[in-house]
């Protein structure tokens, strides 16, 4: 067998193994990545207390950008079933507000509930980004 015939046979054999792997390759599925876990700021000033008995860990909350908020130009409101619970704290909202302004897909859910006199300890939310 000549060297040329051997190399042609060998490449054809390797191509037979590689081709199915290439044709079966799927694009990477988008996944949710945790950006941060934050307390809910302003819980005591909104509907949090009246909604408290209905809240549970694992429930989804909605993040809404409030660019016109007079107290914080980067404000991100947290709603549960259309009711305002509070906000992402101002010290934690820079990245989230920018992502929402860019139209990025974010989700959030309640990951912690604690009966406490300190409203900053009552609810924790996890913010996720679809990447």
Question: Does CATH number 3.90.1200.10 belong to domain 32-130?
Answer: no
Mean pLDDT for 37-44 is 94
CA distance 62 to 69: 17
pLDDT of residue 53: 95
Q: Domain coordinates of the chain in residue numbers?
A: 32-130
Mean pLDDT for 87-114 is 96
pLDDT of residue 49: 84
pLDDT of residue 29: 73
What is the DSSP secondary structure assignment for residue 102, as one 8-state letter? T
What is the DSSP secondary structure assignment for residue 117, as one 8-state letter? S
Mean pLDDT for 60-85 is 96
* 3-state DSSP assignment of residue 118: coil
pLDDT of residue 131: 86
What does the DSSP assignment read for 20-74?
A: HHHHH--PPPP-EEEEEEEEPBTGGGTTHHHHGGG--TT-EEEEEE-TT-SS-TT
Residue indicated by tokens 């490449």 = 11
Using an 8 Å Cβ cutoff, are 108 and 80 in contact?
no
Using an 8 Å Cβ cutoff, are 128 and 32 in contact?
yes
Say which residues have a Cβ less than 8 Å from residue 85's Cβ, sequence separation at least 6. Answer: 40, 43, 46, 47, 48, 51, 61, 78, 79, 123
Higher pLDDT, 49 or 57: 57
């Amino acid at each position: 067998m000549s060297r040329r015939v051997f190399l042609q046979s060998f490449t054809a054999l390797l191509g037979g193994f590689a081709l199915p792997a290439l044709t079966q390759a799927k694009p990477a599925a988008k996944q949710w990545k945790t950006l941060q876990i934050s307390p809910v700021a302003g819980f005591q000033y909104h509907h949090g207390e009246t909604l408290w008995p209905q809240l549970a860990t694992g429930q989804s909350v909605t993040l809404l950008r409030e660019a016109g908020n007079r107290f914080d130009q980067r404000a991100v409101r947290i709603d549960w079933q259309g009711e305002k619970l509070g906000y992402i704290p101002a010290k934690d909202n820079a990245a989230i507000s920018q992502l929402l302004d860019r139209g990025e897909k974010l989700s959030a859910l309640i990951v912690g509930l604690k009966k406490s006199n300190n409203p900053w300890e009552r609810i924790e939310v996890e913010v996720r980004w679809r990447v």
